């Protein structure tokens, strides 16, 4: 199927994952999901600020808020091969960016990478009060792109988020590599 719009996840697709690796270095696996749900999710949906999140994580980890954000920024690497492919795709399709993240950190990475202009619409969970895989966030990106669900493909590295997109009528693709995505869209 040919899609009018492609919607990309940011962390784990366009950019390396950041917070999960930081959590993995500091907390036992048995605690990570509960900690992310308790601390990261409220920041992802804008109930707590990025500053509140960093202060809470500092209290848990012993790192300072400044050390945490510096660590996360250092880990964030953009996939230049995928970005070049997105530039090509943009010639024939609308391109959206949909991410669960605290806005200041996310926006700083877009600015630092100079990539915001690659996207026709950008939706950040903390700015709209909903996070993937909630249906509402998919409706926001579709509205901003001006496309019907069946005309858009969600590209994400998280199966639950792909399932969330499919549940609202979008196509869903579980991202594993740039080459696999190129093959899918060929």
Task: Give residue-wise pLDDT tens across range 163-176.
Answer: 999 999 999 999 99
CA dihedral 55, 158, 77, 91 (to 10 degrees): -130
Cα distance between residue 176 and residue 130, in whole Å? 25
DSSP 8-state class, residue 11: B
pLDDT > 90? residue 2: no
DSSP 8-state class, residue 134: S
The CATH fold assigned to 5-15+76-185 is Rossmann fold (3.40.50)
CA–CA distances in Å: residue 127 to residues 83, 131, 136, 179: 24, 10, 13, 32
Contact 108, 91 (CB under 8 A): no
All structural domains of the chain with their residue ranges: 5-15+76-185, 19-75
What pLDDT does 63 receive? 96
Give the H or E element holding residue 155: strand 152-156
For 39-92, how does the pLDDT look when each residue is reduced to its tens digit (9 = 90+)? 999 999 999 999 999 999 999 999 999 999 999 999 999 999 999 999 999 999
pTM for the model: 0.95
CA dihedral 112, 115, 119, 125 (to 10 degrees): -30
For 125-144, how does the pLDDT look when each residue is reduced to its tens digit (9 = 90+)? 999 999 999 999 999 999 99
Rounded to 5°, the CA angle 21-178-134 comes to 60
């Amino acid at each position: 199927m040919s899609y009018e719009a492609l919607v990309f996840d940011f962390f784990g697709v366009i950019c390396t994952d950041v917070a999960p690796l930081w959590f993995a270095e500091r907390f036992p696996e048995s605690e990570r999901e509960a900690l992310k749900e308790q601390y990261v999710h409220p920041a992802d949906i804008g109930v707590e600020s990025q500053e509140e999140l960093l202060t809470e994580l500092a209290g848990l980890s012993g790192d300072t808020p400044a050390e945490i954000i510096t660590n996360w920024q250092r880990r964030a690497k953009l996939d230049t091969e995928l970005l070049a492919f997105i530039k090509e795709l943009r010639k024939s399709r609308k391109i959206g960016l949909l991410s669960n993240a605290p806005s200041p950190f996310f926006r700083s990475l877009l600015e630092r990478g100079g990539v915001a202009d690659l996207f026709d619409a950008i939706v950040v969970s903390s700015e709209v009060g909903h996070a993937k895989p909630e249906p509402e966030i998919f409706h926001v990106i579709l509205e901003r792109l001006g496309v019907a669900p069946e005309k858009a493909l969600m590209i994400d590295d998280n199966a639950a988020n792909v399932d969330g997109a499919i549940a609202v009528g979008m196509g869903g693709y579980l991202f594993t590599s740039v080459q696999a995505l190129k093959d899918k869209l060929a």
